[in-house]
Every structure is written in structure tokens, then in C-alpha cells.
Amino acid sequence: MTPSASSDATANEEQERFWNDVAGPLWVAAEEEIELHAGPFGKAALAVAAPAVGEMVLDVGCGCGSTTVALAAAVGAGGGVLGVDLSAVMLARAEERVAASGVSHVRLRRADAQVVDLEPGSFDLVFSRFGVMFFADPIGAFANLRRALRPGGRMVFACWQAPSANPWMAVVNRGAARIFSLEPPPPDGPGPFGLCDPDRIDAILRAAAFSSIEISSHEERLQLGLGESVEEWVHQRLLMGLARSAYLDAGPDRQREVRAALAEELVPYQLDVDAPTSGLMMDAAAWIVAARL
Ligand SMILES: C[S@@+](CC[C@H](N)C(=O)[O-])C[C@H]1O[C@@H](n2cnc3c(N)ncnc32)[C@H](O)[C@@H]1O
């Protein structure tokens, strides 16, 4: 394995800052919880991608490397996987994970997938689990990824559907926005819901010269927050969500009130209201997108 090199040029400075300074450390610390919500969708995307022995795969926004290792296992030592990500801290965790898995056909590179200089025609598969919704210029980014595919190559990724289909993210975000009087983020801007509109996904991928675009819905009921109180779970979601700054600025007393108010909104999702650490059962939905060169 080649350790992650220093960052190439980025066209997404705000995202680079966010995934290095804010979200990255939280994601590394909350790895197990993240696998609970992202894992089933990654498996669904992997099933559609069907990586074959000997193939070369690009894992876009590979984060802490969970899918990178799964892809490496699927393609075997005769193939290879390159994971690219903006976040040094998440790549460091990915390096540990790859080393622990004992595979030698994985490379990790700190780079912006929107502009990263990849050898044209060098990959059979471009894959991503929730790593492609953050581009400032989605058409330019997907065109850049398409150039890296060999003729006949394919791209498969998972991205979140609209907030209304994802109460596991939306309930806390919506409640916090109301409490702190925050403006909702612009629709279709870079962020977790940046590709939630399937018509827009289709238009972006066509404009980036992909064809045979297929978008299917994958839904899950997620059991979250098992073994922690609902307020602790709310705290984690607030730290990762759009109200992060307002929450941190609020001070301990107000923070406690906010957590209690939001925990109240989550009562309908609690598995056992009499057992505070029984966890929450919440719906989640993603698009599994497949396209060809
Ligand atoms: C929601 S996380 C998903 C991480 C990982 N794929 C997973 O499923 O656990 C999004 C990831 O995309 C990365 N990312 C966002 N914009 C990127 C870009 N322009 N180029 C490369 N990576 C990017 C972030 O650093 C982060 O690791």
C-alpha cells in the first residue's frame, strides 16, 4: 500500500476544510455507528457494481476505507483499488484498516475527485458510498471520473434520497434549524442531500456523457443509537449536522435544553420508551445509481 500523499489541488475548499477539521475526526470516532447507517446501502451498491476478480476500481470519497477493503477483497490480488478522499484524518484510518486487512493491492490518495488527475481509461469501475454529493461542479466532477473509466467501464454509487425519506437525519436537523432559526441549506447544493433529486442525477450524468443510467431506490429500517441514551445520540447528530456551530455556541445549559427537546421529538421512534438505551428504529432511503461510459 502507498500511504496517502499530500493533497493535490482542490476545487472544493469548504468541503476540504469540513471533512478535515470538523467531520473527519467525528466520523473516525463514530465509525461503528456510521457502518450501521451506511453499511446496508454500501452492500446494495456493491451488489449492483458486482466487482469481478482482476478489475481495477476507483473508490470515490472512500473515507475510512470500509468499502475500499470490501472492493479489494472482491477484485483479488490480480486487480487493484485506488481510494481517493479529501480528508487526511479519514484516510489515516483507511490506511490502518487496509493494513489490518493484509491486502497489498490498495492505494490511497488524498485528492479532490472533482479535479484529480487520473490516468484516462485506467479503471473498470468507479464506485462510491455516499462520497459524490459534495462537488461544487457535479458535471465537471463526473466528467473527470468518466475519463478515468476504460471503454465499457461502469460507475455505481449510493447517494441519499430527500430528507423526507430519511427521518434518521432529518428529524434532528429540522428540529435544530427551528430552534436556532437557521435558514435551510440551498436545495441541490453540495451536502448529504446534494443528489437527492433523481431527475437531477440523470441530467448531471447525461451532461457528463454517461449513458445507460439506472437509478433504483433502496430503503432500510435502521436501528440506531443502541446502548446510548437518545440525548447522547442527538448530541452526535447535532455535532455532525447543519446546526453544529449554533449548538456549540449555545453553552451547556441551552445545549441540554436543545438535546431534551429533540429527544422528545424522537420518542415515536424509540424502540422501548421505558428503556432509554434501547435505540431508535428509523427509516432511511438512498438511490443506487448505475451508469456506463
Ligand atoms: C459521507 S462521507 C462517506 C465516506 C465513505 N465513503 C463511507 O461511506 O463511509 C463522504 C466522504 O467524501 C469525501 N469527499 C467529499 N468531497 C470530496 C471530493 N471532492 N473529493 C474526494 N473526496 C470527497 C469526504 O472527505 C468523506 O470522506
pLDDT digits (tens, 9 = 90+) for 203-225: 999 999 999 999 999 999 999 98
> Does the Cβ of 145 fall within 6 Å of ligand 1?
no
Q: Whose CA is nearest to atom 8 of ligand 1?
A: 129
Look at residue 227 and tell me whether its pLDDT is greater than 90.
Answer: no
Q: Does some domain include residue 156?
A: yes
> What's the rounded Cα separation, in Å, for the pair 43 and 20?
26
What CATH number is associated with residue 128? 3.40.50.150
In a domain, 183, yes or no: no
Any ligand 1 atom below 6 A from CB of 4 = no
Mean pLDDT of the chain: 94
Residue 215 domain-assigned (yes or no): yes
Q: Would you say residue 111 lies in a domain?
A: yes
Q: Pocket of ligand 1, candidates 36, 86, 118, 126: which has the most ligand atoms within 8 Å of its Cβ, to mutate?
A: 86
Taking the CA of residue 84 as reference, the ligand 1 atom at the shortest distance is 21
113 touches ligand 1 (CB under 6 Å): yes
**pLDDT of 152 above 80:** yes
* Ligand 1 atom index nearest CA of 38: 8
pLDDT top residue among 52 and 187 = 52
Q: How confident is the model at residue 276 (pLDDT cuts 50, 70, 90)?
A: confident
**Cβ–ligand 1 contact at 84 (below 6 Å):** yes
Q: Which of 81, 87, 89 to mutate to test the pocket of ligand 1 (most atoms within 8 A of CB)?
A: 87
Residue 175 in domain: no
* Predicted TM-score of the model (pTM): 0.94
**What's the pLDDT score for residue 3?**
40
The confidence band for 32, taking pLDDT boundaries of 50, 70 and 90, is confident
207 inside domain: yes
User: In the prediction, which pLDDT does 185 show?
Assistant: 80
**Whether the predicted pLDDT of 241 surpasses 70:** yes
> How many angstroms separate the alpha carbon of residue 61 from the centre of ligand 1?
3
Q: Whose CA is nearest to atom 4 of ligand 1?
A: 63
**Pick from 55-64, 129-138, 184-193: least confident:** 184-193
In a domain, 125, yes or no: yes
pLDDT band of 199, cuts 50, 70, 90: very high
Q: Whose CA is nearest to atom 13 of ligand 1?
A: 61
Q: Is the pLDDT of residue 171 over 70?
A: yes
The confidence score (pLDDT) of residue 2 equals 41
Give residue-wise pLDDT tens across range 45-90: 999 999 999 999 999 999 999 999 999 999 999 999 999 999 999 9
Distance 2 CA to ligand 1 centre (A): 19
Report the nearest-CA residue for atom 1 of ligand 1: 130
What total of structural domains would you count in the chain? 1
Domain span at 109: 13-162+190-222+287-292
pLDDT of residue 242: 87
Q: Is 166 in the pocket of ligand 1 (CB under 6 A)?
A: no
Distance CA 33, CA 279 (A): 12
pLDDT at 5 over 50: no
Closest CA relative to residue 83, chosen from 195, 2, 192: 2
Q: How far is the CA of 179 from the centre of ligand 1 (A)?
A: 29
pLDDT reported for residue 8: 63
pLDDT of residue 236: 92
The number of the ligand 1 atom at minimal distance from the alpha carbon of 114 is: 19
Cβ atoms of 75 and 49 closer than 8 Å: no
Q: Quote the pLDDT of residue 229.
A: 92
Of 10, 19, 109, the one to substitute when testing ligand 1's pocket (max ligand atoms within 8 A of C-beta) is 19
- 6 Cα–ligand 1 center, Å: 16
What secondary structure does DSSP assign to the chain, as a single string? -BPP------S-HHHHHIIIIIHHHHHHHTHHHHHHHHHHHHHHHHHHH---TT-EEEEET-TTSHHHHHHHHHH-TTSEEEEEES-HHHHHHHHHHHHHHT-SSEEEEE--TTT----TT-EEEEEEES-SS--SSHHHHHHHHHHTEEEEEEEEEEEE--GGG-HHHHHHHHHHHHHTTPPPPPTTSSSTTTT--HHHHHHHHHHTT-EEEEEEEEEEEEEE-TTS-HHHHHHHHHHHSTTHHHHHHT-HHHHHHHHHHHHHHTGGGBS-TTSTTS-EEEEEEEEEEEEE-
